[in-house]
Structure formats: C-alpha cells, structure tokens
Amino acid sequence: MCKFDSFGYTTRKKDSDSFELKESDMHEKNYSIKESSDYFGWLEGEVNLPLFGCGIRFRVKGNDNIYALRCADHLEGITAENLKEHTALYTCFEALVEYVADMLDEHSGEFELGDFIFDEYSSVGDLLKIITPTGLIFERSDYVPEEDCPIAFSIKFSFVPVPDEIMEIALRGDEPIYVGEYRGVSPWNDKLLKKKFNYLRGREI
C-alpha cells in the first residue's frame, strides 16, 4: 500500500500499482485516464477497488477511452456485499483459494508463517484478507465492436504473508479464464482453460 505525502503524491511499493486513493482524487469519474507513459498505444488510469479497500493504477491495452471507463466503472462497483453476484470473479477467487492452499502445502518448509493457517477449507472472504492487488490490465479485443465487447481484465496479486509470491486471475465477461501463478496472461486466450497449470481446468463453470 502507499500513502499520500505532504505534496499529494504517492509512493508505491516496488512492482506494485496499488495505493491508498481517496474519493476526492477521482476527477469526476474519469479515473484520470490518459495515454500510458510506459506502453505505446495503451491507456492508464486509477480506480478505487472497494473489495480490497485500496486504489490501483490500471492499464488498458488498446487506445479506447470509452471501454476504459466502462471497465473501471464495473470494478469500482464490486464490493464484498455483492461479490457473489459477479459469478465469474467469484469462481476465480474460489479457484484461487485452492491455488494458495496448494502453494502453502508445497512450500510449507520454506515460509515462516507462525500461527497463520490457510487451507482448501478456507473461504473466499479469508482469501481476500491475505492478497493485495498489485496490477490491473483491461484488454479489449480488436475483433469485437466496443459496444459488444465484454469487460475483460487480468489482476495480479501478491500474497500478504509472503509478498514475493505472485498470482493472477483473468476473466472475460461471464467467463473465468485463468487462475494460478502469475504469467501475464490475456483474458482472450481460451487455450488457457486446457492448461494443467490453470486452476480453472476441470472446474465446472
């Protein structure tokens, strides 16, 4: 997480786009969208994520301001109270519970976690307390008109007890696409659903 200093700037942790963001800093719901300074032909902006109690800098693959606004509006509207209504995202988090449980089991001798307990019986609510969003990419398809293009995104997370452990989810509209180790995947890559490393593989969706 990052805090505003006395000059109103934010200082982010290395490799993280997550920060504390006040509603007063959202400029009339335009999410401060502008051309990306890092990627040619991309956009970037900032959005609140009430589900995690933080803001995050996002990037948009494709120079489409309307699509960027629609995606940001969508994510800003997701809360702990209505999460189950967003079935694709909830399914991703259910699968991420399994991934984290397996990761902890596999590396149990490497991490010093004290009394910390998390396993396959833990809830999505438990999961949300131990992951932090550190990267968000919206991706529009070049082959679908903007008005017909579903909201598609991937989110990169760090594991709070062991921040170097990075994971990722990706979804497109009502379709969960990927859950697992961070790989920088595209929510438009349906081939991911057949990959053994995808925790959505074999899951009834």
In this prediction, residue 111 carries a pLDDT of 79
Check whether residue 93 and residue 182 sit in a common domain: yes
* One domain for residues 93 and 188: yes
pLDDT in tens, the chain (205 residues): 333 232 222 333 446 665 565 554 444 578 999 999 999 999 999 999 999 999 999 999 988 899 999 999 999 999 999 999 999 999 999 999 999 999 999 887 777 787 888 999 999 999 999 999 999 999 999 898 888 899 999 999 999 999 999 999 999 999 999 999 999 999 999 999 999 999 999 776 6
pTM reported for the whole predicted model? 0.85
Residue keyed to tokens 């942790």 = 13
Assess whether 41 and 128 both reside in one domain: no
Q: Are residues 162 and 144 in the same domain?
A: yes
Has residue 9 been placed in a domain? Answer: no
The answer to whether the Cα torsion of 34, 37, 38, 41 is positive or negative is positive
Cβ–Cβ under 8 Å, residues 51 and 136: no
Q: How many domains would you assign to the chain?
A: 2
Last residue of a domain, one of 76, 95, 112: 76
Which segments within the chain are labelled E, that is strand?
A: 18-19, 34-35, 43-49, 54-61, 131-139, 152-159, 162-172, 175-181
Residue 202 forms part of a structural domain:
no
Does one domain contain both 88 and 187? yes
Domain containing 121 equals 84-194
> Does residue 157 lie within any of the structural domains?
yes
Query: Would you tell me how many other CB atoms lie within 10 Å of the CB of residue 188?
Result: 18
